[in-house]
A and B are shown apart, each in its own frame.
Chain A
Amino acid sequence: MSPPAAPAPSLDLREDVQRELVLATRRYWAGPLYRRVVAGARRVGPVSGPDELERALARMPAYQAFGWLEQHLQTFKYTGPGGLMPAAERQRQVIEAMLAASEGRHPERLVLDPAMRLPDYYRDTDFHLVPGGIHSRSWDGVVYEWAAGTATMMQNESTDVHDSLARYLATVTPGRRILDVGCGFGPTVRALARALPEATVTGCDLSAPVLRLAHHRALAEALTLRFVQANGEDLGPFPDRSVDLVTATMFIHELPPPALRAMLRAARRVLRPGGRLVVLDFYLVPGGTLGRFFHLGHARRNGEPFMPALLELDLPAELRAAGFSAPQISPYPPGQPLDRLPESWRLPWTLIEAEALGGSDAA
């Protein structure tokens, strides 16, 4: 018999209505408003790059509205009058009780490290404009989960990225031991556990509150998952050659290049020779200059300081230098065109895959 479920936090009327308003605004923003900016940009004529386009469009009302919303809708969502942060803070006791109840069940599946030193780039950046980040308050995981659908427009896309990725991984994984780096509140690891019931799936992340929620969600779904607080740059708790598949979704764009290089080396270390690395992130930007203009603008307006640097990296070369072979980089889902802009705004999802070299070849 499982114990009765602890009460869960929820949104009151104002907060829920505000969330619906934010979602509706994002729909309009990603559709008609985006298309109006695209049409305006096409009238500008040839430009040398995204910066020139930016200057040419700076006074265009549709672009001003587009840019303003991209940035301020996020902060409104978190800290506006019906925002997600006050909503979670108001229910902190409910949240703490809920997480503590799950921690009491299967404590061996949640390994936190109270001495974890957060890297400066992580502590000092409000990724996605979440005030104070997602790593310090007990309710941070809940806010992040509430916000996730409105941040990336996934809720407005018909396919669920995590489930579709897990279905794909089920066909390519070279073994049953899977480690997801930067797992957040666990959408990828839960999808993996559903798609691969035989697999041993572990998620790691820097943020303790987010891992506590991931553990709670896994138990609520009766999935056997392990969560470990670890820095993706060293994957310290995980032994050499102990994993068949390393995954990371929406993770590497949050790393400055030196941290990304360290993460690739760490992934190589924990993988067995012949193991696979599969990363889903934002790298191949469709639509030439105009596509880069939108993506770089998104990075700037959405608290993503390291996103632009990722675009500049030669990822196949980085993968080889870290001890991987046969790098493959392709738009996701497969078949998305690279030569033209999408009809509606979307992030440039890219699948990055490589194989861990054999022992003696490894860097």
Chain B
Amino acid sequence: MTFQSEGQRSAESERFFADRSVDALMGSALSLTTELLLLSVRQHRIEEAVRGRDSRPAGGEVPLRPAERDWVRDRADQVVAAWLDPFGG
């Protein structure tokens, strides 16, 4: 992962997270979970359009609307729990 940026970052944080397999696993899971949530939102929009609840062109990339926020939040909690339950659940 290259999220670590320059600056006055102490060598200590490296010491703590030196475990490369954890780094690779968590980094890819974070990226994939984000993509999964984005796909879910797009799919939800298509479903809503098919059911006639949304007049927007299906799959639109328009920004999130306030009415969608709660749905996205719940879905985000679900995908995150599915990812992290093996560690924390």
Contacts and interface: CB of A to CB of B under 8 A. Distances in A.
Contacts of B73: 20, 23-24
Given A13-B62, A64-B22, A67-B17, A25 B5 contact: no
B64 A16 contact: yes
A125 B13 contact: no
Main secondary structure of the interface of B (DSSP, over half): helix
Contact of B3 (A33, A76, A82, A124): A76
11 contacts: A17-B34, A21-B37, A24-B80, A29-B84, A35-B88, A36-B88, A36-B89, A72-B3, A81-B31, A126-B5, A300-B16
Interface in A1-23: 10-14, 16-18, 20-21, 23
Nearest to A296: B12
Interface string A43-73: 0000000000010001001101111110111
Interface string B52-80: 00000000011110000100110011011
Interface residues of A, number: 51
Contacts of B3: 72, 75-76, 79-80
Contacts of B34: 17-18, 21, 80-82
Main secondary structure of the interface of A (DSSP, over half): helix
A24 B16 contact: no
A268 B20 CA distance: 50
A126 B19 contact: no
A68 B10 contact: no
A79 B7 CA distance: 15
B22 A21 contact: no
